[in-house]
Amino acid sequence: MPVESPLSHGQLFSWREIERYPEDWLAEANLPATWDLRGLSTGQVTAALERLVERHEALRTTYHLGGDGPVQHVHEVVAPPIERVDRIVTDPSEHERTKAELVALPFSMAGDLNWRGRMVSSRGAPVYLSLTFSHLIVDLWSIHHLQDEFKALTSGAGGVAPAGPPPRELARRQRGAAWRPRQESAERYWRGVLAEGLTDELPTLPARVKRERLELTLHSRRLGGLAAETARRHGVTAPAVVMAFVAAGLARHLGTDRVTMSLMSSNRFAPEDQHLIGTMNQLIPVVTEVDRRATLAEHIRRLHWAGARAYRHGSYDVDRIAEVAGAAGRAPGHGCWINHLFRAWFNYIQVDRRPCDPADQTPAELAWTPLAQPYGQAFRVRIEVRGGRTSVLMLADPEVLPAPAMIDIMRTIPLGMQLALTDPGRALKDLWSAGEELPPALFPSHPPEPPG
């Protein structure tokens, strides 16, 4: 019989986030991974996968709706849900098509194992393994750890990292007396955020309701390197640099001097959580002043430290915070607290470990997504660094931020970085009148027209 347990804070947050997706967009909760199997035998791959399932409860967990909400069932034994295919592989990019095919298949939130894979062999020799995980059970950090463990298990050299606490143990800890001071501290932080005000200019939607959105993406191989250089110059992090200029652009176009940016926290700051395989990510809002009289250096540092303070409270019971917000008179008028509490969010993901080159002169690309996600928050920015290329995805409600405003905010990001590196004493208010030219490697000279 499976063991039933309440959800951890991270699991509950993922459930509340994903349950608002329209049914035909549930695959957006999927996280893909591709592992190179060349040089391994089928026996080695099978044994390593079985060992991973045995070591990590997240891979043996299903979710179910109980009387008081979602619960997890941890199964003692499950067979790895891996499809096996043997075919002649001649196209070196075939694994990308397989990944796209698998990641497009949604999982049922309740009752499903929430991960699957396809092992492709050629004449009996394993070539690659394509995997898809739902964000309900793991985050990107966990996938990296699983891949490292898989490599260690198949190498025969040993050295597998110790397994972290299982999610149900974390859930028990978060509901215990020792955790109560952290919960109370998080609630005090949230009350402060609610008192200072969320980004009221941004409308919220009920769960599963669709509305027109625009999504613009900037691809640049140089941008990530520039962000890292600017971060070193000011003693902050690269994500803080990017967020500083997203916030500046948003404040400008909303006509406000205060914005609320919701940051994605990994919640893995404690040593005991470094090797936990599960979903830990939660959004935590930070209300920050955007002072146009401040220097670029001051603005960056203000955003950095505001974010650092927010991260301290990134693990909390989202249902309890909804109760706190309701008591404070912040009820959304519809049942979707995720959309209401996190109206503008920012996430910076380093997908792999390849650094970006600040001297790379490859021209940047700017493109509109033909079909943007039509649900959720009115504004979001997601930065993904993969293979030395930085992609900035910006999604917005066109009634709040029309296409020209989105292009301007997107241009503000590399422009702000460049000036913060070369002229950090420049006032933030001068950013948009600087007359500074951006090289093609950071921003194209002729932005494309929006769709339609």
pLDDT of residue 200: 67
Burial label, 439 (beta-carbon count in 10 A; 0-12, 13-18, 19+):
middle
Domain 3-171 matches domain 196-433 at the CATH topology level: yes
The answer as to CATH 3.30.559.30 being correct for domain 196-433 is yes
pLDDT of residue 163: 82
Q: What is the DSSP letter of 294?
A: S
CB 81 within 8 A of CB 190: no
CB 219 within 8 A of CB 364: yes
Distance CA 412, CA 406 (A): 10
Please name the amino acid found at residue 63. Answer: Y
How do residues 108-122 score in pLDDT, each as one tens digit? 999 989 999 999 999
Distance CA 78, CA 53 (A): 8
Report how far apart, in Å, the C-alpha atoms of 166 and of each of 42, 267, 282, 360 are. 28, 15, 18, 42
CB 370 within 8 A of CB 16: no
pLDDT of residue 357: 92
Residues with pLDDT less than 70, the chain: 158-159, 199-200
Q: What is the DSSP letter of 268?
A: -
Give residue for tokens 């699957």.
116
pLDDT of residue 451: 85
The Cβ of residue 369 has, within 10 Å, a number of other Cβ atoms equal to 15
CB 264 within 8 A of CB 281: yes
CATH of 3-171, one of 3.30.390.30, 3.30.559.10, 3.90.79.10, 3.20.20.80: 3.30.559.10
Please enumerate in sequence order all residues whose Cβ is within 8 A of that of 78, keeping only pairs 6 or more positions apart, or say none: 53, 59, 60, 113
Question: Domain coordinates of the chain in residue numbers?
Answer: 3-171, 196-433
pLDDT of residue 273: 87
Distance CA 351, CA 141 (A): 9
3-state secondary structure of 170: helix
The Cβ of residue 302 has, within 10 Å, a number of other Cβ atoms equal to 18
Report how far apart, in Å, the C-alpha atoms of 245 and of each of 250, 297, 419 are. 8, 11, 11
3-state secondary structure of 299: helix
Distance CA 11, CA 6 (A): 9
Distance CA 270, CA 193 (A): 24
Please enumerate in sequence order all residues whose Cβ is within 8 A of that of 279, keeping only pairs 6 or more positions apart, or say none: 10, 11, 13, 14, 58, 135, 136, 137, 138, 139, 142, 167
Backbone angles phi, psi at 354, to 5 degrees: -80, 125
Distance CA 191, CA 451 (A): 40
Distance CA 206, CA 198 (A): 17
